[in-house]
């Protein structure tokens, strides 16, 4: 079992356990004195956990459509009927939809109860369950309502990944491709548990230095959104049959094309982005018929903008960083570069 520490200011460090069978270590990582556990999951997630205390399971709907304030309200009412207190724990068992939604519900129930994430998808294990960002979507955009709420622990059981549908597994590879450009070396050559742990360690290091995404910084936590500005816009503007990681793959290639247009990287680095994303069997171009004007409108509402115009996380000679005030013409040219 690989243990990756996540060091948060104020003595709030916790561990991420990575390896086959990690889900069976739940009792070991629960905060002391826990009286009961509310297990939040979805139907079809065939992963059982035993908290060693009185527990009840609560189901949320399937898909990204479950990430709503209505779902959070339903969960909180379930917690109330169950009698969940601040001396108890929420256990989120599932992928990013579950950890984002259950984590937010835990953050607001009684103004904060402990949460432990049992990540069951590759995407959740390498990214969504790590770092304490929780939240739900609005029609205006993804993850616009949420809270920073660090888990008490995260369990990444690589054993359960063998049951994922191929497309769901590839979706997680979109986040792994991102980490390949954030400093994780030889990622494709590592055994699965080591690759997951390497991505977790990379994110943990960034989060430790910038837990709440300091808006004045250009190289802190916001860099973890590399490829995500376009990805989130694609997920917001229409039904393009894209998984999150697939959208991130397109977003990474778009970010490279945009960075090249701005003179930040050369064509060789763009080709490297296309090769890495393609090596994970992820799409590298926009879906047919996508509305560029609508995409730009949604990207302009991204949380990183801070009133400074179109803002992106882009590669450059000094590495990946936030770049503000990008012109609409340059963005449109970047979109054309990744059009079919």
**Domains of the chain: which residue ranges?**
2-173, 213-337
Checking if the pLDDT of 31 tops 80, the result is: yes
CATH for 213-337, options being 1.10.260.40, 1.20.1090.10, 1.25.40.80, 3.40.50.1370: 1.20.1090.10
* Phi-psi map region of 19: left, alpha, beta (phi>0 left; psi -120 to 50 alpha): left
Asked whether this chain's domains 2-173 and 213-337 adopt the same fold, the reply is no
pLDDT of residue 307 exceeding 70, the answer is no
Distances (CA, A) of 202 to 175, 198, 232, 245, 332: 12, 6, 22, 18, 32
pLDDT grade for 227, boundaries at 50, 70 and 90:
very high
| Confidence label for 306 from pLDDT (cuts 50, 70 and 90) | low
Helix, coil or strand: residue 14:
strand
Alpha-carbon distances, residue 304 vs 86, 149, 252, 261, 337 (angstroms): 33, 20, 17, 21, 23
The per-residue pLDDT for range 193-203, each reduced to its tens digit, is 999 999 999 99
pLDDT tens digit sequence for 63-109: 889 999 999 999 999 999 999 999 999 999 999 999 999 999 999 99
**Any idea how long the chain is?**
340
Mean residue pLDDT of the chain comes to 94
Q: What is the mean pLDDT of residues 267-289?
A: 96
pLDDT category, 301, cuts 50, 70, 90? confident
| Residue indicated by tokens 């994110």 | 203
Buried b (16+ CB within 10 A) or exposed e, 198-230: bbbbbbbebbbeebebeeeeeebbbbbbbbbbb
- Do 305 and 229 meet the contact criterion of CB atoms below 8 Å apart? no
Per the DSSP assignment, residues forming a β-bridge with 323 are: 312
- Find the mean pLDDT for residues 7-13: 80
Domain 2-173 sits in CATH at 3.40.50.1970
- What secondary structure letter does DSSP report for 7? -
Q: What is the set of active-site residues?
A: 111, 133, 175, 203, 213, 221, 225, 228, 232, 244
Look at residues 231, 237, 226, 246 and name the one whose alpha carbon lies nearest to residue 323. 226
Question: CA nearest 17: which of 208, 204, 220?
Answer: 204
């Amino acid at each position: 079992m690989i243990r990756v520490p996540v060091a948060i200011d104020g003595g709030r460090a916790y561990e991420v356990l990575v390896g086959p069978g990690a889900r069976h270590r739940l009792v070991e990582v629960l905060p002391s004195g826990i009286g009961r556990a509310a297990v939040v999951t979805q139907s079809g997630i065939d992963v059982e956990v035993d908290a060693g205390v009185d527990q009840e399971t609560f189901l949320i709907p399937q898909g990204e459509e479950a990430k709503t304030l209505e779902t959070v309200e339903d969960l909180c009412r379930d917690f109330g009927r169950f009698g969940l207190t601040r001396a108890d724990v929420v256990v989120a068992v599932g992928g990013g939809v579950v950890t984002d939604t259950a984590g937010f519900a835990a953050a607001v129930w009684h103004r904060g109860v402990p949460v432990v994430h049992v990540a069951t998808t590759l995407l959740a294990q390498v990214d969504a369950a790590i770092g304490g960002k929780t939240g739900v979507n609005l029609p205006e955009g993804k993850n616009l309502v949420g809270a920073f709420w660090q888990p008490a622990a995260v369990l990444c059981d690589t054993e359960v990944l063998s049951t994922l549908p191929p497309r769901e597994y590839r979706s997680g590879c979109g986040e792994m491709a991102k980490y390949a450009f954030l400093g994780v070396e030889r990622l494709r050559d590592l055994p699965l548990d080591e690759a997951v742990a390497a991505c977790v360690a990379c994110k943990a290091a960034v989060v430790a230095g910038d837990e709440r995404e300091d808006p004045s910084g250009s190289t802190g936590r916001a860099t973890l959104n590399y490829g995500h500005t376009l990805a989130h816009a694609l997920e917001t503007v229409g039904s393009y049959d894209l998984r999150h990681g697939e959208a991130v793959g397109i977003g990474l290639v778009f970010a490279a094309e945009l960075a090249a247009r701005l003179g930040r990287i050369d064509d060789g680095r763009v080709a490297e982005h296309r090769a890495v994303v393609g090596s994970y069997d992820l799409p590298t171009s926009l879906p047919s018929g996508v509305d560029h004007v609508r995409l730009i409108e949604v990207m302009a509402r991204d949380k990183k903008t801070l009133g400074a115009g179109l803002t992106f996380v882009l590669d450059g000679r000094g590495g990946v960083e936030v770049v503000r005030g990008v012109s609409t013409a340059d963005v449109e040219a970047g979109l054309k570069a990744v059009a079919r």
